[in-house]
């Protein structure tokens, strides 16, 4: 008998926490969000988490979301996971993790990334095949690090997964991924839409260890296993979608794919800063990740490691509230506290310059905002250029940016992005875009149609329009001059 009030669950398993959005699959109404935290460990470039913690957090978040929503378990028809990208999970034959997962922001694999780039013949060869050049964040570099540093663990691996793959397998009992998240490994070819045998050979990676790649993130890969159904308190009939990476899910939640690149550039301000846009062409540039999208198109993306978390660290060091910032007043901060991915400076440290006796603490904090925002916005310029657009062309520069992520809720972040970009902003009313995108994928797997069109109909990407501010080219040029001339200050020995 058909469910009268079909509901889907979209899971956002991020670096710091899991969120489970309970969503009306017809209207897109967000009925409740359950939450559970994660723990990240590591120092000196190491960033790791226990994958079992993600599974426990998923169960906890789903339970809390269902309880808060009051939705009967029998009304749930689909579930999908969107996970943090690039993390390396190695499993034994029983599907249990052999070690903690290496996360996207673990920079220890920078030497392996450089060696891989050289081994294939340089960045151009990687762009042609994988669509992206290896950097420390990419899964291929992490696998190489594991082979070099923990060869016994690599040799014992019976399965190699991304974070969202691991959780999807726990739900459905099948090893499955999607083109979007797979494209962040650097062993998947966005040109051929399949794992690249030559790259797998280069990595010494047996394709039998990898999950099958579904057609799209909304592909139904099965239903809940009896064990998963019992753990979640849901019927075994609940459809499980292939799911995707967090950035791809955010694009679905914004309804990207229905329009063109120029209409939908997105700036996301979270632990990392990202810029991305939907396109049906396959751009390739060394500074970008040439990802596939969850719907089978493309999602070129630029990513920075240091965004809201780095700026919050400056606020704590200065003893200020994050909203106490004022414009930098000649101070320049490059807040590269975790190294940096874009630009590719994995061993960088933070840099502060331009201090005077009259410099106020709020100006130092404001300069940290400016440095982080500049880095993200310059990555956006590189993305547009790679897609054949001139960032200086008024027809391009006057289009609004969609601002998402936790930083989009902060006044100083919004004002800094407007001031440095000279663009107006659209700030979506919905904050859980990754979870909502996953919910749309779940609805698609449950028979609800195209998830991008569905999210567009739900209206999850609509929001407040903030007018442009005059562009502060003085601050922009000052930061650019410091970054481009920083030399050894930004490239200390890796030790």
Q: How many CB atoms lie within 10 A of CB 100?
A: 20
> What pLDDT shows up at residue 387?
82
Q: Which residue in the block uniquely carries the two structure tokens 């800094």? A: 416
- Which H helix or E strand runs over 155? helix 151-156
Q: What is the length of the chain?
A: 495
pLDDT band with cut points at 50, 70 and 90 for residue 338: confident
pLDDT digits (tens, 9 = 90+) for 26-80: 999 999 999 999 999 999 899 999 999 999 999 999 999 999 999 999 999 999 9
pLDDT band with cut points at 50, 70 and 90 for residue 131: very high
Provide mean pLDDT across the span 120-130. 95
Q: Which residue in the block uniquely carries the two structure tokens 């260890």? A: 209
> What pLDDT shows up at residue 493?
39
Q: State the angle between helix axes of 139-149 and 110-120 in degrees (0 to 180), rounded to the nearest 10.
A: 110
Of residues 345 and 363, more confidence is placed in 363
Of residues 494 and 279, more confidence is placed in 279
- Which H helix or E strand runs over 365? helix 361-386
Provide mean pLDDT across the span 114-124. 96
Domains and CATH numbers, the chain: 7-249 (3.30.420.40)
> What pLDDT shows up at residue 272?
87
- CA 371, CA 356: separation in Å to the nearest integer? 18
Residue 122 predicted with pLDDT over 50: yes
Beta strands in 231-378 (DSSP E): 239-241, 244-245, 266-269, 273-276, 289-292, 298-304, 332-334, 351-353
The token duo for 71 is 């939705």
Biggest alpha carbon–alpha carbon distance for the chain: 74
> What pLDDT shows up at residue 262?
43
Of residues 351 and 345, more confidence is placed in 351
pLDDT band with cut points at 50, 70 and 90 for residue 120: very high
Q: What percent of the chain has pLDDT over 70?
A: 96
Of residues 489 and 419, more confidence is placed in 419
- CA 157, CA 135: separation in Å to the nearest integer? 23
246 is catalytic: yes
Average pLDDT, the chain: 93
Residues 239, 446: contact at Cβ < 8 Å? yes
Provide mean pLDDT across the span 141-158. 98
Phi, psi (deg, nearest 5) at residue 104: -55, -35
SS3 306: coil
- CA 279, CA 300: separation in Å to the nearest integer? 8
From the candidates 246, 295, 338, 472, which is the catalytic residue?
Answer: 246
- Which H helix or E strand runs over 160? strand 159-161
> What pLDDT shows up at residue 347?
86
- Give residues with Cβ within 8 angstroms of 90, minimum separation 6: 97, 98, 99, 146, 153, 154, 156, 157, 159, 160, 161
pLDDT digits (tens, 9 = 90+) for 376-401: 999 999 998 888 888 888 888 888 99
- Give residues with Cβ within 8 angstroms of 253, minimum separation 6: 430, 432, 433, 434, 435, 436, 437, 438, 440, 455, 460, 461
């Amino acid at each position: 008998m058909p469910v009268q009030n079909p509901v889907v669950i979209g899971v956002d398993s991020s670096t710091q926490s899991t969120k489970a959005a309970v969503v009306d699959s017809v209207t897109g109404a967000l009925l409740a969000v359950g939450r559970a935290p994660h723990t990240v460990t590591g120092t000196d470039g190491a960033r790791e988490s226990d994958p079992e913690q993600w599974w426990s957090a998923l169960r906890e978040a789903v339970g809390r979301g269902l309880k808060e929503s009051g939705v009967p378990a029998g009304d749930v028809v689909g579930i999908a996971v969107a996970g943090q990208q690039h993390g390396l999970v190695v499993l034994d034959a029983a599907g249990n993790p052999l070690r903690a997962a290496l996360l996207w922001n673990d920079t220890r694999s920078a030497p392996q990334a450089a060696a891989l780039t050289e081994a294939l013949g340089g960045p151009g060869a990687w762009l042609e095949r994988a669509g992206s050049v290896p950097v420390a964040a990419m899964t291929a570099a992490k696998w190489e690090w594991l082979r070099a540093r923990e060869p016994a663990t690599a040799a014992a691996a019976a399965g190699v997964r991304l974070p969202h793959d691991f959780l999807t397998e726990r739900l459905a009992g099948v090893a499955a991924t999607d083109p979007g998240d797979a494209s962040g490994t650097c062993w998947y070819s966005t040109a051929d839409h399949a794992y690249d045998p030559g790259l797998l050979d280069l990595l010494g990676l047996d394709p039998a260890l990898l999950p099958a790649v579904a057609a799209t993130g909304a592909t139904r890969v099965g239903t809940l296993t009896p064990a998963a159904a019992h753990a979640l308190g849901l019927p075994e009939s609940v459809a499980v979608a292939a799911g995707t990476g967090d950035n791809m899910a955010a694009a679905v939640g914004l309804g990207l794919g229905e329009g063109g690149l120029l209409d939908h550039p997105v700036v996301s301000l979270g632990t990392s800063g990202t810029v991305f846009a939907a396109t049906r062409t396959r751009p390739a540039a060394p500074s970008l990740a040439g990802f596939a999208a969850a719907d089978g198109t493309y999602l070129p993306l630029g990513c920075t490691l240091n965004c809201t978390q780095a700026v919050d660290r400056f606020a704590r060091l200065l003893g200020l509230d994050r909203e106490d910032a004022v414009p930098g007043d000649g101070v320049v901060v490059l807040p590269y506290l975790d190294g940096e991915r874009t630009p590719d400076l994995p061993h960088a440290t933070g840099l502060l310059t331009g201090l005077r006796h009259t410099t106020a603490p709020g100006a130092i904090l404001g300069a940290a905002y400016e440095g982080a925002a500049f880095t993200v916005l310059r990555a956006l310029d590189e993305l547009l250029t790679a897609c054949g657009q001139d960032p200086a062309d008024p027809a391009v520069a006057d289009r609004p940016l969609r601002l998402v992520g936790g930083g989009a809720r902060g006044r100083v972040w919004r004002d800094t992005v407007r001031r440095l970009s000279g663009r107006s902003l659209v700030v979506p009313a919905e904050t859980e875009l990754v979870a909502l995108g996953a919910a749309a994928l779940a609805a698609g797997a449950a028979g609800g149609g195209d998830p991008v069109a569905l999210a567009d109909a739900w209206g999850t990407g609509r929001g407040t329009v903030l007018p442009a501010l005059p562009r502060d080219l003085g601050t922009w040029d000052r930061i650019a001059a410091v970054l481009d001339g920083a030399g050894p200050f930004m490239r200390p020995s890796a030790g």
